[in-house]
Chains A and B, each alone.
Chain A
Amino acid sequence: MEDQIAELTARLSEIEASAGVTNTMFAEAYYYLTIPLMVLIHAGFLAYEMGASRMKNVLSSGVKNILAFAFVIPTFWFFGWWVYWAFPTGLSLSMGPMEISGAEYASAIALGWGDAAQYMGPNIADNASGVFWGAFALFAATTASIMSGAVIERIQTVGFVILAIVLGSFAWVIAAAWGWHADGWLVTKFGVHDFGAAGLVHAVAGFFALGVLINLGPRIGKFNSDGTANHIGGHNLPLTTTGLMLIITGFWGFLMACMILPGEGWSWFSHTGATIYGTPMNLSALSFNILMGISGGIIGAWLLTRDPFWMMSGALAGIISVASGLDIYFPAITFIIAFVAGLILKPAAGILESLGIDDAVGAVTVHGTIGLYGVIALGIFGAGYPALQGAAGEVATVSFLGQIVGAAVFALCGFIPGYVVSLLLSGLGMLRTPEAAEVAGLDPVKVTAAAYPEGIPASALPSD
């Protein structure tokens, strides 16, 4: 009998160990696969802004976008990941109540030298750090890509890359540390909830772009002497529209990467998924709400514009407008919020243009304005939800005021560094291309390849 019990106990241990390995490998693969999905976001932005460029600037826009990706990734490895773990409690860099933040903690897990380096490279005992870092690095690249489209056709390449590094490896990371971390002061003190990063990715990037656009100025020919605006059409609307669809596809990866899986040492729960704040959720919630958000945004934009560019922008705006509460919204509420986002999209872009801002692809509106709208909307519909594990009273709850504070902080996290750094670059002569280069086109001036060496001929007639 005792032998049988011992045998069963040993067998049970084997099964538990096997299940543990399976869970670990699933978690690792889950986050790993979000990375190529999020690369689709970058591919989408690449197509989007190349299509929105005139033929003389197509490749220059592409080069700029590719370099943003290339420089944000290593700089996020150098210091961006450290910033995320060091800053949640604010500028004091002290450790928060969950004991997973502060300069000391960050220096122990997120630097490319010393003992911390064991978590920043191949480690057979660590299946999480690399895939988490990778997912965050792609969030970072996304922010730079959002800004990239707004400034096309007149920004210097290296100046842009510096701005991309500041945005992707610092500005949004500060916002994420404050509002997308269980020790973040916006969460613990104000109950800010921004599950899908409407504010801390989209609004930060959108307002960073606004700060840059103020110093960069409009493209030559965008505005008339009386202040009225001219439409500068891109050379390939189908490419732009397809790019938008790729971005939307990639956002499924972005949003699934926002969920913390169960059953691991770093998990919040053993039985269900969780938000980054440690509140329970699952992928079914995302499935309901992302699809309803896309649909609401498209319908709202179609109602007002009948324009495929704005319809696809409406899809993106639809997702962004509900991203903060994708984990808890009822799908019909999602649809309504996203529908309104689709409706206000083009008028909001028109207001920006009337102020003399030349946002070539509507990035400030789609990501900045709609991002803030999304954060604040959750304060109305989601008020009273505990922002962290525990009950209301023990932990902060979601509130309208809290979400407004969060929205304001996110906007400033983007706008201030965008404005200040672009002003410095302008002073150094590294921001705006010379007028002669802009008129001639940036491709013939500084790109060593031709986008369409044979032009874009009409299709040949079929043979008899």
Chain B
Amino acid sequence: MGFPYNEASWSVVDGAMFMGWGGVTPFFYTLISIIVCIVVLLWGDAIEKSKYKQVEK
């Protein structure tokens, strides 16, 4: 990813300064974050269902 400005110096920073600014990285990490949330919910639901099955036996 690297420093988001041509020159790696704080003196040239005048705006966005997060990692990946100006490239596709923000989209990539946003997408991963969304997928993490969805997978955790699916996984959590499966675990919850298994707990309910145990108590119903």
Contacts and interface: CB of A to CB of B under 8 A. Distances in A.
Contacts of A105: none
A446 B54 CA distance: 10
Contacts of B16: 117-118, 121-123, 125-126
A74 B15 contact: no
B48 interface: yes
Contacts of B26: 112-114, 117, 120-121
A305 B49 CA distance: 42
Contacts of A75: 37
Contacts of B18: 117, 121-123
Interface in A43-88: 71, 74-75, 78
A120 B56 CA distance: 46
B57 to A, nearest CB: 9
Interface in B5-55: 13-18, 21, 24, 26-27, 30, 33-34, 37, 41, 44-45, 48-49, 51-52, 54-55
Nearest to B45: A158
B42 to A, nearest CB: 8
A299 to B, nearest CB: 44
Question: Is chain B's interface secondary structure helix, strand, loop, or mixed overall?
Answer: helix
A162 interface: yes
Contact of B37 (A74, A121, A156, A157): A74
Interface stretch (A11-19, A210-218, A391-399, A433-441): A433-441
A440 B30 contact: no
Nearest to B50: A446
B27 to A, nearest CB: 3
Q: Most chain-B CB neighbours within 10 Å: which of A71, A123, A158, A445?
A: A158
A445 B55 contact: yes
Contact of A121 (B21, B48, B52, B55): B21
Contacts of A121: 16, 18, 21, 26
Q: What's the interface size class on B, roughly?
A: 20 to 34
A449 interface: no
A100 interface: no
A430 interface: yes
A162 B38 CA distance: 10
B17 A437 contact: no
A296 B45 CA distance: 44
A153 B48 CA distance: 15
B51 to A, nearest CB: 4
Given A434-B56, A436-B56, A124 B15 contact: yes
A376 interface: no
Question: Is chain A's interface secondary structure helix, strand, loop, or mixed overall?
Answer: helix
Interface in A104-131: 112-114, 117-118, 120-126
Contacts of A126: 15-16
A161 B38 CA distance: 11
A411 B48 CA distance: 32
Nearest to A161: B41
Contacts of B45: 156, 158-159, 430
A61 to B, nearest CB: 15
A78 B52 contact: no
A74 B37 CA distance: 9
Contacts of B51: 437, 445-446
Given A121-B16, A122-B17, A125-B14, A112 B30 contact: yes
B48 A157 contact: yes
B33 A78 contact: yes
Contacts of A446: 48, 51-52
A440 B55 contact: yes
A434 B55 contact: yes
Contacts of B54: 445
A117 B16 CA distance: 9
B14 A124 contact: yes
Nearest to B33: A74
A436 B37 CA distance: 29
Contact of A436 (B13, B15, B24, B55): B55
Interface of B: 13-18, 21, 24, 26-27, 30, 33-34, 37, 41, 44-45, 48-49, 51-52, 54-56
23 contacts: A71-B37, A112-B30, A113-B26, A113-B27, A113-B30, A117-B18, A117-B27, A118-B15, A120-B26, A121-B18, A121-B21, A122-B16, A122-B17, A122-B18, A123-B17, A123-B18, A156-B48, A161-B44, A162-B41, A430-B45, A436-B55, A437-B51, A437-B52
Given A118-B16, A123-B17, A437-B56, 9 more contacts: A71-B37, A78-B34, A114-B27, A121-B16, A156-B48, A430-B45, A436-B56, A437-B51, A446-B51
